[in-house]
Structure 1
């Protein structure tokens, strides 16, 4: 099966121009995504004078993150594959579509992009901090872990079906739209419980800037488990070894 194609890669790959350009693209895409997504939450807090989360606020967060992710994936697709998520990168690695060396480059770039976006938001808003992801009252770490696993499974399964699968055909812009939609829908489903991260980098930036690490491990373990399971399921059942190809591709 294709999972046997997992590759570590050569250390020299980390200094290749195309790998560095891809990492830079991931940095910029993540910055765009986090700045718009987290910024929308800060704007809502300002408009409601730091009021409690409302259904309207949840819908606004869903739309902002869905639209921002659509753009972030689209602008990075032809350069890095438009992962914009360490969990997506991990899923691609598990499926043998990206080497570990390039994955590490992506992870560093994605985390830095999130931190820089949160720092820019703090500066632009006169000192407001992006709130770290947290569990809602009555929601335990185990509950949140299940939410993150299932939601990220749906996200990475969508990525595989619309962007990775070599049988997908020429569906062009459908992939970024589908990815944005599933993230927006998952925020509506899980946002009131644990914030619906599905993305360790999105959780990491606010945690660094606010220096709040309560239950932060949930937002790493859950997405990585969900991504790994989605990659294994799709690779084993839907991608045959004869159609396996390296990811990211030139045409998303």
Structure 2
């Protein structure tokens, strides 16, 4: 029975509802937030490479990069939460769609904005660093694509589950106040786990910008398929088991 509730809540949307001035304002907020996040995260990696002359990542370097991503995502979510819901991640948007919390058309609009934000961030970094190499996500020696695939599923599940628990669930109460912080923390924690193995994207927009700017798509599918599956599973699990549908209705537009 609960399975049918989720299916009924998934909506394609209508052009007149999902493509109006407020929708484009929300997309612009996603663009800016993703730009802020990727500029900080990718920039921290490039800064580390410059300071160490492209030496292998050290434990201290991994911690620094994880913190930069955590802080960047915290800010990105916080500044757009009241406008677009603060997705800053196609996997979060997909998880919200699977749970019936955003329409397909609005989700596509968000995806475009997020991918553009990542691309512009990488172009700005390339320009401001005098054409330094933008770091493309790669697998460490000994790590297979299937290892990375499972890593991305598990870690993105944790991220999107946290989004549901702290931002989407109408029962969140005071926890909603710390949602951006919790979302940033879970990203940083997972980068400390998976960063040394396969980069730990947890967000298709994050590797998309560097791949496009560098035109290097090797193993790129892993950083789409893994996060989308993990995000979708988190949406299904939270909606089926923990969401109270007696008090929860789909919200208009992209707001949580």
Q: How many residues align?
A: 252
Q: CA offsets per residue over residues 153-193 of structure 1, 9 Å max, x none?
A: 00000000000111111334310010000000000000000
CA pair 140-251 structure 1, distance change in 2 beyond 3 A: closer
1:143 matched to 2:143? The reply is no
CA pair 250-106 structure 1, distance change in 2 beyond 3 A: closer
The SS at the match of 1:242 is coil
| TM-score calculated relative to the size of structure 1 | 0.97
Aligned pairs (5 A) from 1:213-232:
213-232=217-236
Q: Distance in 2 between matches of 1:184 and 1:113?
A: 20
The SS at the match of 1:18 is helix
> What's the RMSD between the two structures over aligned residues?
1.5
Q: Distance in 2 between matches of 1:217 and 1:110?
A: 17
Aligned pairs (5 A) from 1:147-166:
147-166=151-170
Aligned pairs (5 A) from 1:79-228:
79-228=83-232
| Contact 1:23–1:109 (CA under 8 A) maintained in structure 2 | yes
CA pair 249-167 structure 1, distance change in 2 beyond 3 A: farther
Deviation, structure 1 residue 194: 0.4
Q: Distance in 1 between matches of 2:162 and 2:251?
A: 15
| TM-score calculated relative to the size of structure 2 | 0.95
Instruction: Tell me which of 50, 54, 62 is aligned to 2:54.
Output: 50
Deviation, structure 1 residue 249: 8.7
Deviation, structure 1 residue 12: 2.4
| Contact 1:163–1:175 (CA under 8 A) maintained in structure 2 | yes
Give 4+ residue runs of structure 1 displaced > 4 Å after superposition: 247-252
Q: Distance in 2 between matches of 1:38 and 1:105?
A: 23
Deviation, structure 1 residue 240: 2.4
Q: Gapped runs of 5+ residues in structure 1?
A: none
1:35 matched to 2:39? The reply is yes
The SS at the match of 1:173 is helix
Q: Distance in 2 between matches of 1:105 and 1:23?
A: 6
Q: Gapped runs of 5+ residues in structure 2?
A: none
Instruction: Tell me which of 222, 243, 250 is aligned to 2:247.
Output: 243
Q: CA offsets per residue over residues 4-39 of structure 1, 9 Å max, x none?
A: 200000122343111100000000000000001100
